[in-house]
Structure 1
Amino acid sequence: MNAITFNETIKTKVSNILAARHLDVDVNVEHLTKANGIEYDALTFTGKDMLQPVINLNQFFHSYQCHDSNIDDIANDIADIYEESFLPDDDYKVIFNFEQVKNKIFPCLYNTAINSKISDQYIHREYLDLSVYYYVTLPIKNDGSGTILISRKLLDLWNISIEELDQTAFNNLHVNKHPQITSMYDLFKDENDEKDISYIDDLSRNMFILSCKSDTNGAIYMTDTGILDQLSSMTSSDLIILPSSRHELIVLPSYLMKSHAEINDFRSMVHEVNSTVLRPEDFLSDNVYCYSAEDHELNIA
């Protein structure tokens, strides 16, 4: 069974299961694009509730191909996921009220070119080769939380301007989330405990990891001149920034660069990590950035 046949079969079976459970919902198969250009086949649902889950079918098809699950078990699992995805009305409907969710709105960074397919759908502003998007955190079952990118439809529903959204998101970033600056040397030392770490070169001794204490979307701090000024002050230097992912940055003082030609070496290193190690959904950029402490300005190197 190929993917197309699998998707249509699952659609029919899930629809029948939900109908037997007396759930009034239409089930459809859609090919969707999410952030970072990740494309996937999904089951989407249309019912009386405005918020409906979207269930990725690719993982289920892989499980079917590997004979880990049969088609009926998969359909029942998806139907269970659908039913379990709903929160009490008061929990999920808060998203439609800006005043109730404004403290849960934050900014994040994505690559502009790769996300061109979703740029018309979600609110964003461009920043160099990147774009600042905005997301809201919502509770999910079992005391967890999930995130939703803020769409133009949601912004219209809130009846606020993009400027107000941007200000709210960055205010929340500064108040509720905190940057984490970790010395690469200290990281190596902690990981190797009592082992000899004399092999660590001068470059690594003067490199820092800039991230968020929540472990997600830490790259947004490259837009924060206050944090970059702090790092410049710590190193008494302008900065070179290597985007290791959407979640963290590697920062080093520019005086370690013996010549401008080394920028190409850094760029090659970033590209190699992005193409061989990083998950596609975590990709930020293949570029390298320079921060001028005097001008308080970040530019592509």
Structure 2
Amino acid sequence: MQRCTGRLLASAPSRLRGPSTVQVVCGLNICQLRSLKQQRAQHAHLQHQASLGRSSSSSSSSSSSSLDSRRHTCQQQHATQRRKAVACTASFGNDVAAAAACLSSKVSAVLANLVALPWLGLAAVLVSGVLLGLAVSKAISAYVAKEFDADRTSLENAELRQKVEDLQQLMMKVEPLAYKSMRLRFTKGINKAVILGMVDTMLANKEVNIWWLPDQLERIIYFNMMTLMLSVLDEVVDGMSISFAGHNVRLSLTYLDVERGEGFGPAVTAKTEALLKSAMQPVKQYS
């Protein structure tokens, strides 16, 4: 532009050279300065955009690098937790195995001691047998307590005593020749009540006592023994005869149900039958 200005000045006629020429030159210089300012502004704008691009790229790269670092940290934490869990599982398994080994060693040592000391094993067997016997006796006593009622037994005993007395009075009134044979007519339940009453009396009076047995179990033993003795007595007494009011009367023990009202034989009169029926009626408790 300076060259163009010089050429214009050189080619201009001499009459034109003066203040107007200076004004033209100044105008050209101002235009040149404006163009330079515009170029500098464009260059600065381009530099600013370039710096913004570099900063955005650096921020994106920094954000991506921070995400990568966080992901890597999480992976490391998960790996650490997995290693800790595996280590805990392994240690728990080792502890269980050690405890099982210790228990097995103790059991084997106890068994070895028992084998080495046979009397100790025998004592253990005896103690276990005693405990088992006590448990069985307790169960039997509970069963007996449910099966036999003491109140009902006492009432049956009192009723039986009253009936026996009534029969004795009846036999004193009736002609004994009417009975060629005498049959004691009691139910099995009453006989059981009689036996249990006798056993209870013996236990209450301490006539028999086994100190190391429970009372209920002792009661069962005595009841069975007396039942066996009575069954033997039935066989012995059957066919015997006694002298009753000057006459021989044949005895026979039979367990019949008096509630069914079995016939008393053709030799028994109506009065005797009525007396027997009245004697067999339930009575109040005997005291």
TM range (shorter): under 0.3
Larger radius of gyration: 2
Instruction: Specify which structure has the bigger relative contact order, considering alpha-carbon pairs within 8 angstroms and separated by 6 or more residues.
Output: 2
**Which of the two has greater helix per residue?**
2
Give TM-score scaled by structure 2 length.
Answer: 0.18
**Which of the two has greater strand per residue?**
1
